[in-house]
Structure 1
């Protein structure tokens, strides 16, 4: 079996678990939870879903700790914020002009 097969089995097991938890909460008893979960996950696979390996996020740390001086770019940052605000205002004006 490949890692994709293992990941698919784990996805099916997770869906079965969630469906059974839902059924316990509502007081229902559905015996077809397993086949339904398998059919659902396999349909996702046929539509192109593929599991990806989970990776821990990279801790980049503070820019100051890497030797960057945040104040050295304060003017550029303010200009970028103003440009974004102006673009958003133009976009809003264009949308309002098109709306009857």
Structure 2
């Protein structure tokens, strides 16, 4: 079980503990199976566990090509820089106007 993450190991240990307690109880003191299972799932949910739909992992590989060509996108890059500078100027002007 050492290859499992910490949260999974803790969940398994909690379930093993509960099952051993249940198995050691005498016949009339032994809890019903369904409420026992519901209590365990509720405890997992209180710790943040939520069921999620199964999905295939995303395959991450090396990037294709060289990425963005700065010379080809120089105009768009300059326009983005100017827009950022203008927004920063407006923000500073608004802050200066609102301070007494």
TM-score by length of 1: 0.39
Asked which structure has the greater CA Rg, the reply is: 2
TM-score by length of 2: 0.39
Relative contact order higher in (CA < 8 Å, ≥ 6 apart)? 1
